[in-house]
Structure 1
Amino acid sequence: MKRIQLLPFIFSFLALLHASCTQGSQGKRDTRQKESRQAITKDEILTGADQLGAYLPLLKGKKVGLMGNQTSVVGPDKKHLVDVLLENKIDLRFAFAPEHGFRGSIERGEKVSNEVDEKTGLPLYSLYGKNKKADSIVNSIDIMLFDLQDVGARFYTYIASMHQVMQLCANHGKKIIILDRPNPNGDQVDGPVRKDDKFKSNISFHKIAMIHGLTIGELAQMINGEGWLDKGKKCDLTVISLKNWDHKTPYSLPIIPSPSLPNDVSVRLYMSLCLFEATDVSVGRGTDWPFQVLGYPDPSFGKFTFTPGSKPGMSAHVEQQDKTCYGLDLRDIDPKSSTFTLKYVLDFYKLFKKAGIADQFFARPEFFNKLAGNDKLIQQIKAGMTEDEIKESWKPELEIYKKMRKKYLLYPDFE
Structure 2
Amino acid sequence: MLKDKKVAVVGNQTSVVLNKNGEFVHLVDTLLASQISVSKVFAPEHGFRGKADAGESITDGIDSKTGLPIISLYGNNKKPTPVQLQNIDVLVFDIQDVGARFYTYISTLHYVMEACAENNVDVVVLDRPNPNGNYIDGPILEPEFSSFVGMHPIPVVHGLSMGEYARMINGEGFLKNKMQAKLWVISMKNYNKEDTYQLPIKPSPNLPNAKSINLYPSLCFFEGTNVNAGRGTDLQFQVFGSPYLDAAIFPFEYTPQSTEGAKSPKHLGKLCYGEKLTDAKNLNRLELKWLIKAYQNTANKEKFFNNFFNKLAGNATLQEAIQAGKSAEEIRATWQEGLAKYRKQIEPYLLYSN
Structure with bigger gyration radius: 1
Query: For residues 217 and 227 of structure 2, what CA distance do their matches in structure 1 show?
Result: 16
- Matched residue, 2:200: 254
- Matched residue, 2:4: 61
- Matched residue, 1:107: 53
- Residues 291-302 of structure 1: pairs in structure 2 closer than 5 A: 291-297=237-243, 298=245, 299-302=247-250
Matched letter for residue 275 of structure 1:
F
Structure 1 residue 167 corresponds to structure 2 residue 114: yes
Query: For residues 153 and 188 of structure 1, what CA distance do their matches in structure 2 show?
Result: 11
Query: For residues 133 and 222 of structure 1, what CA distance do their matches in structure 2 show?
Result: 21
Shift of 1:174: 1.0
- Matched residue, 1:410: 351
Query: For residues 141 and 81 of structure 1, what CA distance do their matches in structure 2 show?
Result: 17
Shift of 1:133: 6.5
- Matched residue, 1:136: 83
- Matched residue, 2:134: 187
Query: For residues 75 and 173 of structure 2, what CA distance do their matches in structure 1 show?
Result: 23
Contact map agreement 1:154 1:210 (CA 8 A) in 2:
yes
Matched letter for residue 253 of structure 2:
T
- Matched residue, 2:326: 385
1:128-167 residue CA offsets vs partner (Å, 9 max, x unmatched): 1333872211132000000000000000000000011100
Matched letter for residue 12 of structure 2:
N
More helix by share: 1
Structure 1 residue 306 corresponds to structure 2 residue 282: no
- Matched residue, 2:70: 124
Shift of 1:300: 3.4
Matched letter for residue 352 of structure 2:
Y
Structure 1 residue 394 corresponds to structure 2 residue 335: yes
Contact map agreement 2:99 2:130 (CA 8 A) in 1:
yes
What TM-score, normalized to structure 1? 0.82
Pair 1:409–1:264, CA change in 2 (3 A)? same
Query: For residues 390 and 261 of structure 1, what CA distance do their matches in structure 2 show?
Result: 27
What TM-score, normalized to structure 2? 0.96
Query: For residues 228 and 181 of structure 2, what CA distance do their matches in structure 1 show?
Result: 41
Matched letter for residue 142 of structure 1:
D
Contact map agreement 1:107 1:313 (CA 8 A) in 2:
yes
- Matched residue, 1:214: 160
Query: For residues 368 and 186 of structure 1, what CA distance do their matches in structure 2 show?
Result: 24
- Residues 13-412 of structure 1: pairs in structure 2 closer than 5 A: 58-75=1-18, 76-131=22-77, 134-196=81-143, 198-297=144-243, 298=245, 299-316=247-264, 318-335=265-282, 337=283, 339-352=285-298, 355=299, 357-362=300-305, 364=306, 366-412=307-353
Query: For residues 211 and 296 of structure 2, what CA distance do their matches in structure 1 show?
Result: 25
Shift of 1:259: 0.5
1:246-291 residue CA offsets vs partner (Å, 9 max, x unmatched): 1111111110011000000000000100000011111111111110
RMSD value over aligned CA atoms? 1.3
Partner SS, residue 210 of structure 1: coil
Shift of 1:395: 1.4
Instruction: Point out where structure 2 has 5 or more consecutive residues left out of the alignment.
Output: none
Query: For residues 163 and 10 of structure 2, what CA distance do their matches in structure 1 show?
Result: 14
Query: For residues 75 and 348 of structure 2, what CA distance do their matches in structure 1 show?
Result: 31
Partner SS, residue 229 of structure 2: coil
Query: For residues 3 and 50 of structure 2, what CA distance do their matches in structure 1 show?
Result: 28
Instruction: Point out where structure 1 has 5 or more consecutive residues left out of the alignment.
Output: 1-57
Pair 1:333–1:272, CA change in 2 (3 A)? same
Contact map agreement 2:11 2:43 (CA 8 A) in 1:
yes
Contact map agreement 1:269 1:338 (CA 8 A) in 2:
no
Matched letter for residue 407 of structure 1:
P
1:3-23 residue CA offsets vs partner (Å, 9 max, x unmatched): xxxxxxxxxxxxxxxxxxxxx
Contact map agreement 2:73 2:80 (CA 8 A) in 1:
no
Contact map agreement 2:137 2:285 (CA 8 A) in 1:
no
Matched letter for residue 115 of structure 1:
G
Contact map agreement 1:295 1:301 (CA 8 A) in 2:
no
Shift of 1:338: 5.4
Query: For residues 161 and 82 of structure 2, what CA distance do their matches in structure 1 show?
Result: 26
Query: For residues 226 and 351 of structure 1, what CA distance do their matches in structure 2 show?
Result: 42
Query: For residues 306 and 331 of structure 1, what CA distance do their matches in structure 2 show?
Result: 14
Pair 1:139–1:210, CA change in 2 (3 A)? same
Partner SS, residue 85 of structure 2: helix
